[in-house]
Amino acid sequence: MPSHQFHPTILREYDIRGIIGETLSAADAYAIGRALGTVCRTNGGTTACVGRDGRLSSPELEAATVRGLADCGLAVTRVGLGPTPMLYYAQKARQADVAVMITGSHNPPSHNGFKMMMAGKPFFGPAIANLGTVAAAGAFAEGQGTVEDQPMLVAYVERLLQDWDGGDRPLTVVWDAGNGAAGEAMSLLVDKLPGRHVLLYADIDGMFPNHHPDPTDPHTLEDLIARVRQENADLGIAFDGDGDRIGIVDSSGRILWGDQILQILAEDVLRAHPGATIIADVKASQGLFDEVARMGGTPLMWKTGHSLVKTKMAETGAPLAGEMSGHIFFADKYYGFDDALYAAVRFLGIVARMTEPLTQRAARMPRMINTPELRFDCPDEKKFAVVEAVRAVVKAQAADLSEVDGVRVRTADGWWLLRASNTQAVLVARAEADSAGHLAETCAALEAVVGQALHSAGLPVPAALIPAALLEIHA
């Protein structure tokens, strides 16, 4: 095929994402298959796995990607419709040299994209950018590959069930797939688990007619919370659009955020692996890192991004990691990739073995007050410079800071964070403190230094980076 130019916005840090009919097409999918297949062949690879989510555009993109890989001479296995972790599992089970998931994750229905692995490792950063270079050159590998249909959903669910360790205690659980790609796997899974299970929106529908599938957004959990209370359930579990992120609510309807879920999982893992490294991203609560240390583990703060976390896990040998976004990664008994359904099985096992309700366990967690993740626009070409300017200011103040991912400044009463998004033209901020008053002070310090940096970069300074309403919630 001739050379191909991708829209400049679709090759991202961790994956490929675009808007169907605007920035992403079947022709792009074919070129991605050809470029990825060329890289695979160059590295000596011969096999590929391809899966897809339930978006309306996914069948067409999947078919084009398969053709592109096969036209490079690869033996391609189509693993079918399911969550992204099913594709990761298929790669491990079949030892495929390259794996591609067609998914728009939790983005709107008009969006779609690609998540990839190469040689059993995450494919991200410069490797994704290189696909654009390969496609632009048009020097694709040639060959007559093969295509085989081998659905992996049943085998994947059977693997999830292998690590159930909750015995026969009959929990009542409400599950919400949000009409995303995890729906069928979720239905098969609960049929084999003890207890009573109530399913919400398990049918896969790429238009997401009931609510957006993003468990980090409290509004998307409203139906789950209401049903947990109605059913007097022990807990509720929600998944994002492609099943690699989890959300949990307890029997009172209280949301457990990513770092709180990780804290409960870490307590269990550390019993089996005393002293082990537990990784969390830079947005996680200080309470999590302190609790991991108190429980005898080695807490490690790392960069945000599922590919970066998986890479760090492999480097450190950590058995468990997590992000505030709900990505949970188990290397203990599992493969080290983010799998929300597997995390649900492990979490339910812990709850089934608890001698107290989940609500009481959650109530014993360290009490900190924090803002949600705050995002404000900043041009791509200036966002990293703004973070550098902030770093210079806080260094001059001899602040206690972490530079793992942006700037995280620890104060006597809490901390604040500023980082540049790797996927959007925004800056991301978050703050936490031990009281409402100290949170207001921490946010004021964040606003002052960010305002100074924006001004020095010639950018407009918002009247208030931290909405006053957020602080009023805790007042």
User: At the fourth CATH level, which superfamily is domain 369-474?
Assistant: Alpha-D-phosphohexomutase, C-terminal domain (3.30.310.50)
Query: How do the domains of the chain map onto residue ranges?
Result: 16-151, 156-363, 369-474
What residue has token string 């509720």? 236
Numbers of helices and strands, H then E, in the chain? 15, 22
Identify the pLDDT of residue 468. 59
Query: Per the confidence metrics, is the pTM higher than 0.85?
Result: yes
Exposure on the CB side of residue 109, measured as CA atoms within 13 A: 14
Identify the pLDDT of residue 473. 46
Pairing of strands 146-149, 277-281: unpaired
SS (H, E, C) 372-422: CCEEEECCHHHHHHHHHHHHHHHHHCCCEEECCCCEEEECCCEEEEEEECC
Q: In angstroms, what CA-CA distances link 350 with 51, 83, 249, 266, 357?
A: 31, 24, 15, 11, 11
Which CATH number does the domain 156-363 belong to among 3.90.1150.10, 3.30.1330.10, 3.50.50.60, 3.40.120.10? Answer: 3.40.120.10
The residue from 3, 25, 57, 105 that is catalytic is 105
Q: Do domains 16-151 and 156-363 have the same CATH topology?
A: yes
- Give the separation between CA 74 and CA 48, rounded to whole angstroms: 7
| 30: CB partners within 8 A, 6+ apart | 1, 64, 65, 67, 68
* Domain 16-151 -> CATH class: alpha beta
Pairing of strands 172-176, 235-239: parallel
Pairing of strands 328-330, 320-322: antiparallel
Identify the pLDDT of residue 467. 64
Q: Is 421 left (phi over 0), alpha (psi -120 to 50) or beta?
A: beta
Identify the pLDDT of residue 205. 97
- Give the separation between CA 295 and CA 299, rounded to whole angstroms: 10
Q: Mind listing the pLDDT tens digit of every residue in the chain (475 residues)?
A: 789 999 999 999 889 999 999 999 999 999 999 999 999 999 999 999 999 999 999 999 999 999 999 999 999 999 999 999 999 999 999 999 999 999 999 899 999 999 999 999 999 999 999 999 999 999 999 999 999 999 999 999 999 999 999 998 999 999 999 999 999 999 999 999 999 999 999 999 999 999 999 999 999 999 999 999 999 999 999 999 999 999 999 999 999 999 999 999 999 999 999 999 999 999 999 999 999 999 999 999 999 989 999 999 999 999 999 999 999 999 999 999 999 999 999 999 999 999 999 999 999 998 888 888 888 888 888 899 999 989 988 888 877 899 999 999 998 889 999 999 877 788 899 999 998 899 989 988 888 888 888 888 788 777 666 665 555 444 3
Active site residue 105: yes
